């Protein structure tokens, strides 16, 4: 079997463009991959056009290790977010093809299942007025949908510091959310790399009474010693990793033991195999895996293949019930959270178990998507 060509399909919303890639073969099988870029969609499509000619067309989709190696190193330049995201789309699609060819789900090819359920947590649900009352109501809606976990960044446009008034307001928002979801639901506290170590530590202590399930990206991702300072002084799990685009770059993070939960994004770190390898290394350091997942239903399905086959997989992020939920219709077989359990149930469909509806995707053309975490009203995800 050989790859004969690829096509790209961008599904646009005002705050995110989702790039889907279809990989076609000479035996009639087609696989799909997906990633979400912030401001780099055209660069990704340009890279994929070159990579198709240099590396992809003519390759055997079963030889994913060789294809990834050639795409990552064959152009000699160091692979960053764009290259690794392109690799991820192609690699996911190849796994989809392999599963379809063999008539089995991808998780079966990754060593088989270790669980029938993967817990979900909601994000994108607080696209409302930034008040305790509005957040309380929105959080109740999440619980009514069956979720048992959610994530929130309550810090407005905070950057490095957060003054006393803004800090009290952030605490009031978290207090309202915890009251809405009750004592048993998981509440993930997101900092988006906003703060200096001292500010992150202070805020974590002020919010500790509301029992955050983790403290996510408390400082910018480039300085692991700063992250270590936070980890040494807070009494809650620390999570990070969504902006690391090569599993080799996790090495220092593992060595530092500064994190309890790693958050690779399958769509940015090279796909399914790269994430599964990373998870195995995390397991040797007694760390959990909770992938960053701000993409659509194909990326969710790919992340779940890893989840069902990975012993130290904790939970999966899910936007698509709340932020532009209408885009779910572009993917047939889109994974759904079971409201009875708050989990994704295992799928036995071949490959990734989903199909891109190209006609439906065309109803959401690419936009000049904009998402600025330091702009007033960013949480509404409705750029002006």
Within 10 angstroms of residue 248's Cβ, the number of other Cβ atoms is 9
Say if strands 186-190 and 337-338 run parallel, antiparallel, or are unpaired. unpaired
Angle between helix axes 224-231 and 197-207 (nearest 10 degrees) is 30
Give the active site residues: 192, 292
- Report angle CA 230, 159, 42 to the nearest 5 degrees: 105
Closest C-alpha among 348, 341, 340 to residue 118: 341
Within 10 angstroms of residue 208's Cβ, the number of other Cβ atoms is 14
Q: How far apart are CA 267 and CA 41, in angstroms?
A: 13
């Amino acid at each position: 079997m050989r790859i004969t060509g690829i096509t790209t399909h961008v599904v646009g919303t005002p705050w995110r463009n989702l790039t889907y890639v279809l990989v076609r073969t000479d035996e009639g099988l087609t696989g799909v991959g997906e990633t979400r870029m912030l401001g780099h969609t055209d660069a990704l499509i340009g890279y994929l056009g070159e990579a198709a000619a240099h590396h992809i067309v003519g390759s055997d989709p079963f030889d994913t290790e060789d294809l990834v190696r050639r795409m990552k190193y064959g152009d000699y330049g160091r692979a960053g977010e764009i290259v690794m995201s392109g690799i991820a789309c192609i690699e996911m699609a190849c796994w989809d093809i392999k599963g379809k060819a063999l008539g089995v789900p991808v998780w079966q090819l990754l060593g088989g299942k270790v669980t029938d359920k993967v817990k979900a947590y909601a994000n994108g649900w607080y696209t409302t007025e930034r008040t305790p009352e509005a957040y309380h109501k929105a959080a109740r809606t999440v619980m009514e949908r069956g979720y048992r976990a959610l994530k929130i960044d309550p810090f407005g446009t905070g950057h490095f510091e957060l003054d006393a008034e803004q800090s009290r307001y952030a605490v009031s928002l978290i207090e309202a959310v915890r009251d809405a979801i009750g004592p048993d639901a998981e509440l993930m506290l997101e900092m988006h790399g906003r703060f200096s170590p001292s500010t992150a530590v202070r805020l974590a202590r002020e919010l500790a009474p509301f029992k955050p399930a983790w403290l996510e990206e408390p400082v910018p991702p480039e300085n692991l010693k700063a992250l270590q300072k936070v980890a040494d002084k807070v009494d809650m799990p620390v999570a990070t990793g969504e902006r690391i685009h090569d599993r080799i770059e996790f090495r220092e993070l593992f060595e530092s033991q500064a994190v309890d939960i790693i958050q690779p994004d399958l769509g940015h770190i090279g796909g399914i195999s790269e994430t599964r390898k990373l998870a195995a290394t995390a397991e040797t350091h007694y760390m959990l895996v909770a992938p960053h997942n701000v993409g659509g239903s194909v990326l969710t399905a790919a992340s779940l293949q890893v989840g069902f086959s990975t012993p130290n997989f904790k939970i999966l992020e899910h936007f698509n019930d709340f932020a532009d939920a209408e885009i779910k219709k572009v993917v047939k077989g889109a994974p759904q959270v079971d409201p009875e359990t708050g989990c994704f149930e295992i799928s036995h469909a071949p490959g990734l178990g989903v199909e891109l509806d190209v006609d439906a995707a065309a109803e959401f053309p690419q936009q000049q998507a904009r998402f600025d975490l330091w702009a007033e009203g960013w949480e509404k995800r409705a750029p002006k």
